[in-house]
Structure 1
Amino acid sequence: MIGRLRGVLIEKQAPEIVIDINGVGYEVQVPMTTIYSLPALGQVVSLYTQFIVREDAQQLYGFADVASRRLFRDLIKVNGVGPKLALTIMSGIASDDFVQCVQDGNTAALVRLPGVGKKTAERLVIEMRDRLQDWDLPASSTTAALGGLAKSNIAEAEAALVSLGYKPQEASKAIGAVKADNASSEDLIRAALKNMSK
Protein backbone atom coordinates (compact mmCIF):
# COMPACT_ATOMS: atom_id res chain seq x y z
CA MET A 1 0.00 0.00 0.00
CA ILE A 2 2.32 2.78 1.26
CA GLY A 3 5.80 1.29 1.29
CA ARG A 4 8.02 4.34 1.56
CA LEU A 5 7.80 8.03 2.42
CA ARG A 6 10.22 10.81 1.55
CA GLY A 7 9.65 14.36 2.67
CA VAL A 8 10.53 17.07 5.17
CA LEU A 9 10.56 16.16 8.85
CA ILE A 10 8.38 18.78 10.55
CA GLU A 11 7.58 17.21 13.94
CA LYS A 12 9.41 14.75 16.16
CA GLN A 13 7.74 13.74 19.42
CA ALA A 14 8.54 10.09 20.18
CA PRO A 15 7.09 7.76 19.17
CA GLU A 16 5.38 9.88 16.52
CA ILE A 17 6.83 12.02 13.77
CA VAL A 18 5.21 14.08 11.00
CA ILE A 19 6.62 14.15 7.48
CA ASP A 20 5.48 16.89 5.11
CA ILE A 21 5.13 15.64 1.53
CA ASN A 22 3.91 18.30 -0.92
CA GLY A 23 1.89 20.05 1.78
CA VAL A 24 0.38 16.90 3.31
CA GLY A 25 1.57 15.94 6.81
CA TYR A 26 1.87 12.18 7.34
CA GLU A 27 1.81 11.03 10.96
CA VAL A 28 4.14 8.06 11.38
CA GLN A 29 4.80 5.92 14.45
CA VAL A 30 8.47 4.96 14.70
CA PRO A 31 10.61 2.96 17.16
CA MET A 32 13.24 4.80 19.21
CA THR A 33 15.97 3.08 17.18
CA THR A 34 14.65 5.01 14.15
CA ILE A 35 14.11 8.25 16.10
CA TYR A 36 17.84 8.40 16.87
CA SER A 37 18.75 8.07 13.19
CA LEU A 38 16.49 10.93 12.06
CA PRO A 39 17.89 14.25 10.82
CA ALA A 40 17.04 17.61 12.41
CA LEU A 41 13.62 19.19 11.90
CA GLY A 42 13.31 20.81 8.50
CA GLN A 43 15.57 18.24 6.85
CA VAL A 44 14.57 15.65 4.27
CA VAL A 45 13.90 12.17 5.64
CA SER A 46 13.18 8.87 3.93
CA LEU A 47 11.51 5.96 5.73
CA TYR A 48 10.28 2.49 4.79
CA THR A 49 6.72 2.11 6.00
CA GLN A 50 4.06 -0.38 6.96
CA PHE A 51 0.43 0.71 6.65
CA ILE A 52 -1.95 -1.05 9.04
CA VAL A 53 -5.72 -0.73 8.88
CA ARG A 54 -7.78 -1.66 11.93
CA GLU A 55 -11.47 -1.28 12.68
CA ASP A 56 -10.82 1.83 14.73
CA ALA A 57 -7.68 3.26 13.10
CA GLN A 58 -5.40 3.52 10.09
CA GLN A 59 -1.76 3.88 11.10
CA LEU A 60 1.57 4.27 9.37
CA TYR A 61 4.69 2.78 10.97
CA GLY A 62 8.11 3.92 9.77
CA PHE A 63 11.58 2.39 9.82
CA ALA A 64 15.06 3.55 8.94
CA ASP A 65 15.81 0.45 6.83
CA VAL A 66 14.16 -2.51 5.11
CA ALA A 67 15.50 -4.99 7.68
CA SER A 68 13.77 -3.17 10.54
CA ARG A 69 10.50 -3.13 8.64
CA ARG A 70 10.85 -6.85 7.98
CA LEU A 71 11.40 -7.48 11.70
CA PHE A 72 8.29 -5.44 12.52
CA ARG A 73 6.25 -7.47 10.03
CA ASP A 74 7.51 -10.71 11.56
CA LEU A 75 6.84 -9.50 15.10
CA ILE A 76 3.18 -8.64 14.48
CA LYS A 77 2.61 -12.18 13.17
CA VAL A 78 3.47 -13.56 16.61
CA ASN A 79 0.42 -14.50 18.67
CA GLY A 80 -0.26 -11.74 21.23
CA VAL A 81 2.13 -9.19 19.68
CA GLY A 82 0.38 -6.22 18.09
CA PRO A 83 1.91 -3.18 16.39
CA LYS A 84 2.23 -1.26 19.68
CA LEU A 85 4.19 -4.01 21.46
CA ALA A 86 6.28 -4.65 18.33
CA LEU A 87 7.25 -0.97 18.29
CA THR A 88 8.06 -1.09 22.01
CA ILE A 89 10.27 -4.15 21.51
CA MET A 90 12.08 -2.51 18.60
CA SER A 91 12.56 0.64 20.68
CA GLY A 92 14.27 -1.40 23.38
CA ILE A 93 16.80 -3.32 21.31
CA ALA A 94 18.54 -3.08 17.93
CA SER A 95 17.18 -5.41 15.24
CA ASP A 96 20.39 -7.47 14.93
CA ASP A 97 20.61 -7.85 18.71
CA PHE A 98 16.99 -9.00 18.91
CA VAL A 99 17.56 -11.58 16.18
CA GLN A 100 20.69 -12.80 17.99
CA CYS A 101 18.67 -13.27 21.20
CA VAL A 102 15.98 -15.23 19.33
CA GLN A 103 18.51 -17.44 17.57
CA ASP A 104 20.32 -18.10 20.86
CA GLY A 105 17.05 -18.74 22.71
CA ASN A 106 18.09 -15.99 25.13
CA THR A 107 14.73 -15.36 26.82
CA ALA A 108 16.47 -13.74 29.80
CA ALA A 109 17.54 -10.79 27.64
CA LEU A 110 14.12 -10.56 25.97
CA VAL A 111 12.30 -10.45 29.32
CA ARG A 112 14.22 -7.26 30.11
CA LEU A 113 12.51 -5.49 27.22
CA PRO A 114 9.54 -3.27 28.16
CA GLY A 115 6.23 -5.10 27.89
CA VAL A 116 7.78 -8.55 27.44
CA GLY A 117 7.05 -11.15 30.11
CA LYS A 118 8.41 -14.68 30.34
CA LYS A 119 5.62 -16.25 28.28
CA THR A 120 5.89 -13.62 25.55
CA ALA A 121 9.68 -14.04 25.43
CA GLU A 122 9.29 -17.81 25.03
CA ARG A 123 6.66 -17.31 22.32
CA LEU A 124 8.94 -14.88 20.47
CA VAL A 125 11.76 -17.43 20.45
CA ILE A 126 9.55 -20.33 19.38
CA GLU A 127 7.56 -18.52 16.70
CA MET A 128 10.34 -16.34 15.26
CA ARG A 129 13.35 -18.65 15.24
CA ASP A 130 12.46 -20.20 11.86
CA ARG A 131 11.41 -16.88 10.32
CA LEU A 132 14.69 -15.24 11.24
CA GLN A 133 17.12 -18.06 10.47
CA ASP A 134 18.12 -16.44 7.15
CA TRP A 135 18.76 -13.06 8.82
CA ASP A 136 22.23 -11.84 7.88
CA LEU A 137 23.80 -11.13 11.27
CA PRO A 138 27.14 -9.36 11.61
CA ALA A 139 29.79 -11.23 13.57
CA SER A 140 28.48 -10.78 17.09
CA SER A 141 27.66 -12.63 20.25
CA THR A 142 25.07 -12.70 22.97
CA THR A 143 27.38 -10.41 24.91
CA ALA A 144 27.09 -7.87 22.12
CA ALA A 145 23.32 -8.27 22.18
CA LEU A 146 23.25 -7.59 25.91
CA GLY A 147 25.47 -4.55 25.34
CA GLY A 148 23.00 -3.32 22.74
CA LEU A 149 20.19 -3.84 25.21
CA ALA A 150 22.01 -1.74 27.82
CA LYS A 151 22.53 1.06 25.26
CA SER A 152 18.87 0.95 24.27
CA ASN A 153 17.83 1.17 27.95
CA ILE A 154 19.89 4.35 28.21
CA ALA A 155 18.30 5.71 25.03
CA GLU A 156 14.82 4.86 26.32
CA ALA A 157 15.49 6.55 29.66
CA GLU A 158 16.75 9.69 27.91
CA ALA A 159 13.66 9.78 25.68
CA ALA A 160 11.40 9.45 28.73
CA LEU A 161 13.07 12.45 30.39
CA VAL A 162 12.69 14.49 27.19
CA SER A 163 8.98 13.62 27.12
CA LEU A 164 8.78 14.91 30.72
CA GLY A 165 9.99 18.30 29.51
CA TYR A 166 13.77 18.14 29.97
CA LYS A 167 16.01 19.28 27.13
CA PRO A 168 17.83 16.46 25.26
CA GLN A 169 21.20 17.68 26.55
CA GLU A 170 19.90 17.74 30.15
CA ALA A 171 18.41 14.26 29.78
CA SER A 172 21.63 12.84 28.34
CA LYS A 173 23.73 14.44 31.09
CA ALA A 174 21.35 13.25 33.84
CA ILE A 175 21.34 9.64 32.60
CA GLY A 176 25.10 9.72 32.04
CA ALA A 177 25.58 10.71 35.68
CA VAL A 178 23.71 7.67 37.01
CA LYS A 179 24.06 4.99 34.35
CA ALA A 180 25.13 1.56 35.54
CA ASP A 181 25.71 -1.71 33.70
CA ASN A 182 22.57 -3.79 33.22
CA ALA A 183 20.29 -1.13 34.78
CA SER A 184 16.75 -1.12 33.39
CA SER A 185 15.39 2.05 31.80
CA GLU A 186 13.00 2.45 34.77
CA ASP A 187 15.90 2.31 37.24
CA LEU A 188 17.86 4.85 35.21
CA ILE A 189 14.89 7.26 35.05
CA ARG A 190 14.24 6.92 38.79
CA ALA A 191 17.91 7.48 39.66
CA ALA A 192 18.23 10.44 37.29
CA LEU A 193 15.12 12.18 38.66
CA LYS A 194 16.29 11.58 42.23
CA ASN A 195 19.73 12.95 41.38
CA MET A 196 18.32 16.06 39.70
CA SER A 197 16.04 16.84 42.64
CA LYS A 198 18.99 17.08 45.05
Structure 2
Amino acid sequence: MVLYRKGKIVYKDGKNLIFESDNVGYYVTFPDNKRIKLNQELKMCLYEIKNDFTWSLYGFKELEERKLFADLLNLNGIGPRVAFNVLNVGFDKAINLIRDGNIEEIAKIEYINPRIARIIVEELKEKLSSKSKDVKKLKLCLKIM
Protein backbone atom coordinates (compact mmCIF):
# COMPACT_ATOMS: atom_id res chain seq x y z
CA MET A 1 0.00 0.00 0.00
CA VAL A 2 1.28 3.44 -0.92
CA LEU A 3 0.88 5.99 1.88
CA TYR A 4 1.92 9.12 -0.01
CA ARG A 5 3.50 10.39 -3.21
CA LYS A 6 5.28 13.63 -4.05
CA GLY A 7 4.23 15.35 -7.24
CA LYS A 8 2.12 18.13 -8.67
CA ILE A 9 -1.46 18.87 -9.60
CA VAL A 10 -1.81 18.97 -13.40
CA TYR A 11 -5.62 19.08 -13.66
CA LYS A 12 -8.53 20.04 -11.39
CA ASP A 13 -12.23 19.50 -11.98
CA GLY A 14 -14.77 19.65 -9.17
CA LYS A 15 -13.86 17.06 -6.58
CA ASN A 16 -11.38 15.24 -8.83
CA LEU A 17 -7.89 16.03 -9.99
CA ILE A 18 -4.95 14.50 -11.77
CA PHE A 19 -1.85 14.22 -9.63
CA GLU A 20 1.38 13.58 -11.54
CA SER A 21 4.21 11.80 -9.77
CA ASP A 22 7.26 10.30 -11.52
CA ASN A 23 5.61 10.86 -14.93
CA VAL A 24 2.52 8.87 -13.92
CA GLY A 25 -0.86 10.59 -13.68
CA TYR A 26 -3.19 9.50 -10.88
CA TYR A 27 -6.91 10.30 -11.05
CA VAL A 28 -7.66 11.25 -7.46
CA THR A 29 -10.79 12.26 -5.57
CA PHE A 30 -9.68 15.03 -3.23
CA PRO A 31 -11.91 16.63 -0.55
CA ASP A 32 -12.05 20.40 -0.15
CA ASN A 33 -9.75 20.87 -3.14
CA LYS A 34 -10.08 24.67 -3.04
CA ARG A 35 -6.99 24.48 -0.81
CA ILE A 36 -4.74 23.43 -3.66
CA LYS A 37 -3.84 25.11 -6.93
CA LEU A 38 -3.09 23.89 -10.41
CA ASN A 39 0.65 23.09 -10.86
CA GLN A 40 1.13 23.11 -7.07
CA GLU A 41 3.74 20.64 -5.86
CA LEU A 42 2.86 18.69 -2.73
CA LYS A 43 3.15 15.45 -0.84
CA MET A 44 -0.26 13.81 -1.19
CA CYS A 45 -1.42 11.14 1.26
CA LEU A 46 -3.33 8.44 -0.61
CA TYR A 47 -6.06 5.95 0.24
CA GLU A 48 -6.84 3.25 -2.30
CA ILE A 49 -10.15 1.39 -2.42
CA LYS A 50 -10.08 -1.67 -4.63
CA ASN A 51 -12.71 -4.39 -4.86
CA ASP A 52 -14.64 -6.41 -7.45
CA PHE A 53 -16.72 -3.39 -8.44
CA THR A 54 -14.46 -0.37 -8.27
CA TRP A 55 -10.96 1.01 -8.01
CA SER A 56 -10.79 4.46 -6.47
CA LEU A 57 -7.98 6.63 -5.21
CA TYR A 58 -8.60 9.31 -2.59
CA GLY A 59 -6.03 11.98 -1.82
CA PHE A 60 -5.43 14.11 1.25
CA LYS A 61 -3.16 17.04 1.96
CA GLU A 62 -2.37 15.86 5.51
CA LEU A 63 -1.97 12.44 7.12
CA GLU A 64 -4.56 13.33 9.80
CA GLU A 65 -7.19 13.79 7.07
CA ARG A 66 -6.38 10.34 5.71
CA LYS A 67 -6.66 8.87 9.21
CA LEU A 68 -10.10 10.42 9.72
CA PHE A 69 -11.20 9.06 6.32
CA ALA A 70 -10.05 5.56 7.34
CA ASP A 71 -11.75 5.90 10.76
CA LEU A 72 -15.01 6.87 9.06
CA LEU A 73 -14.79 3.92 6.65
CA ASN A 74 -14.43 1.56 9.61
CA LEU A 75 -17.85 2.61 10.93
CA ASN A 76 -20.89 0.47 10.14
CA GLY A 77 -22.95 1.93 7.30
CA ILE A 78 -20.35 4.41 6.05
CA GLY A 79 -18.74 4.07 2.67
CA PRO A 80 -16.26 6.19 0.76
CA ARG A 81 -18.86 8.66 -0.54
CA VAL A 82 -20.08 9.53 2.97
CA ALA A 83 -16.55 9.65 4.41
CA PHE A 84 -15.49 11.92 1.53
CA ASN A 85 -18.45 14.25 2.10
CA VAL A 86 -17.61 14.58 5.80
CA LEU A 87 -14.07 15.68 4.91
CA ASN A 88 -15.31 17.85 2.06
CA VAL A 89 -16.76 20.35 4.58
CA GLY A 90 -13.16 20.98 5.67
CA PHE A 91 -11.01 18.92 8.01
CA ASP A 92 -11.08 21.33 10.97
CA LYS A 93 -14.83 21.86 10.66
CA ALA A 94 -15.46 18.10 10.46
CA ILE A 95 -13.33 17.47 13.56
CA ASN A 96 -15.12 20.22 15.50
CA LEU A 97 -18.58 18.98 14.49
CA ILE A 98 -17.74 15.47 15.68
CA ARG A 99 -16.02 16.58 18.92
CA ASP A 100 -18.93 18.90 19.75
CA GLY A 101 -21.42 16.11 19.08
CA ASN A 102 -23.26 18.31 16.59
CA ILE A 103 -25.47 15.60 15.08
CA GLU A 104 -27.84 18.15 13.55
CA GLU A 105 -25.09 19.84 11.49
CA ILE A 106 -23.45 16.55 10.52
CA ALA A 107 -26.84 15.30 9.28
CA LYS A 108 -26.96 18.27 6.87
CA ILE A 109 -23.94 16.90 4.99
CA GLU A 110 -24.92 15.24 1.72
CA TYR A 111 -25.81 11.50 2.05
CA ILE A 112 -25.83 11.63 5.86
CA ASN A 113 -29.02 11.14 7.82
CA PRO A 114 -29.46 11.61 11.58
CA ARG A 115 -28.83 7.90 12.27
CA ILE A 116 -25.48 7.95 10.45
CA ALA A 117 -24.59 11.29 12.09
CA ARG A 118 -25.27 9.74 15.50
CA ILE A 119 -23.05 6.74 14.68
CA ILE A 120 -20.22 9.07 13.62
CA VAL A 121 -20.44 11.08 16.84
CA GLU A 122 -20.84 8.06 19.14
CA GLU A 123 -17.93 6.17 17.60
CA LEU A 124 -15.43 8.98 16.97
CA LYS A 125 -16.08 11.76 19.50
CA GLU A 126 -14.00 10.26 22.30
CA LYS A 127 -11.26 9.08 19.95
CA LEU A 128 -10.86 12.54 18.41
CA SER A 129 -10.96 14.26 21.80
CA SER A 130 -8.20 12.02 23.18
CA LYS A 131 -6.07 12.65 20.06
CA SER A 132 -6.47 16.38 20.63
CA LYS A 133 -5.30 16.04 24.24
CA ASP A 134 -2.29 13.97 23.14
CA VAL A 135 -1.31 16.62 20.59
CA LYS A 136 -1.62 19.39 23.20
CA LYS A 137 0.55 17.40 25.64
CA LEU A 138 3.16 16.80 22.94
CA LYS A 139 3.25 20.50 22.02
CA LEU A 140 3.62 21.41 25.71
CA CYS A 141 6.49 18.93 26.13
CA LEU A 142 8.26 20.29 23.06
CA LYS A 143 7.78 23.84 24.31
CA ILE A 144 9.34 22.97 27.68
CA MET A 145 12.36 21.39 26.00
TM-score, scaled relative to structure 2: 0.82
**Which structure 2 residues correspond to residues 1-198 of structure 1 after superposition, within 5 A?**
1-32=1-32, 35-39=33-37, 41-92=38-89, 94-136=90-132
1:130-188 CA distance string (max 9 Å, x none): 332323289xxxxxxxxxxxxxxxxxxxxxxxxxxxxxxxxxxxxxxxxxxxxxxxxxx
Residue type of the alignment partner of 1:3: L
**Structure 1 stretches lacking a partner, 5+ long:** 139-198
Residue type of the alignment partner of 1:102: I
**Alpha-carbon distance in structure 2 between the residues aligned to 1:24 and 1:50:** 17
Change in CA separation of 1:2 and 1:105 when aligned onto 2, cut-off 3 Å = same
**Alpha-carbon distance in structure 1 between the residues aligned to 2:53 and 2:43:** 27
User: 1:15 deviation in Å?
Assistant: 1.3
Percent identical: 25
Q: Which has the higher strand share?
A: 2
Residue type of the alignment partner of 2:26: Y
TM-score, scaled relative to structure 1: 0.62
Q: Is the 8 A contact 1:19 1:25 kept in 2?
A: yes
User: 1:2 deviation in Å?
Assistant: 1.1
Matched length: 135
**Structure 2 stretches lacking a partner, 5+ long:** 136-145
Helix, strand or coil: the match of 1:135? helix
User: What is the root-mean-square deviation of aligned Cα atoms in Å?
Assistant: 2.0
Larger C-alpha radius of gyration, 1 or 2? 1
